[in-house]
Amino acid sequence: MATLRLGDTAPDFEQDSDIGPIKFYDYLGDSWGVLFSHPADFTPVCTTELGYTAKLADEFAKRNVKVIAVSVDDAQSHKDWIKDINDTQSTTVNFPILADSDRKVSDLYDMIHPNASNTATVRSVFVIDPKKKVRLTLTYPASTGRNFNEILRVIDSLQLTDSHSVATPVNWEDGDDCIIVPSIKDEAELKAKFPKGYTVVRPYLRTTPQPNK
């Protein structure tokens, strides 16, 4: 399959997992989703990633996000690995890990990059909105652990910019000033949409306090 691009519909699938078969769209329901892949079970970097993701359960929940992982090993291997993750990372894995032994999900989401490895998935991340559209893709090399704080930051930005006429600037964090989208030019509309006021740095660069704070 061709590489998924931003705005594409995320493919649906049914696949086994450590908690039994999962239908992806049914699992997500009307939530946002984070689908992320792992080269294999019992790998050191992934162990830290899955443990940290479990610790972020409350952060994902308050953003209406469901998390689901993918690894090419079977469900029993996942169950055994989860025991290690819980023990070494002092947490409890609270999301499913797909058992993608037939590479169905890996192929659907183009998670195997032959020049990196013919068998193991790369560290891919997909953020999917409630309409099942792909809103973010990230791909890391197998040797580099992902930054899940950054993934939360991007979800905050996506949810904010979906509901308000703003964009988020470099290194933006929740609570920081935002940028008014250039398409709004009418002064009355600006005052109505941004009652906290705004600063004109340049005609194309106008900042305003975060609207939903």
DSSP H or E segment with residue 49: helix 44-55
Check if the beta carbon of residue 182 is closer than 8 Å to that of residue 204: yes
Check if the beta carbon of residue 40 is closer than 8 Å to that of residue 120: yes
Q: What angle is formed at CA 93 by the lines to CA 173 and CA 67, rounded to 5 degrees?
A: 50
Provide the b/e sequence for 49-80 (b: ≥16 CB within 10 Å): bbbbbbebeeebeebebbbbbbbbbebebbee
DSSP H or E segment with residue 84: helix 75-89
DSSP H or E segment with residue 24: helix 24-28
CA distance 73 to 40: 6
Check if the beta carbon of residue 95 is closer than 8 Å to that of residue 54: yes
Q: Is 178 a catalytic residue?
A: no
In the set 46, 125, 179, 180, the catalytic residue is 46
Q: Which residues are catalytic?
A: 46
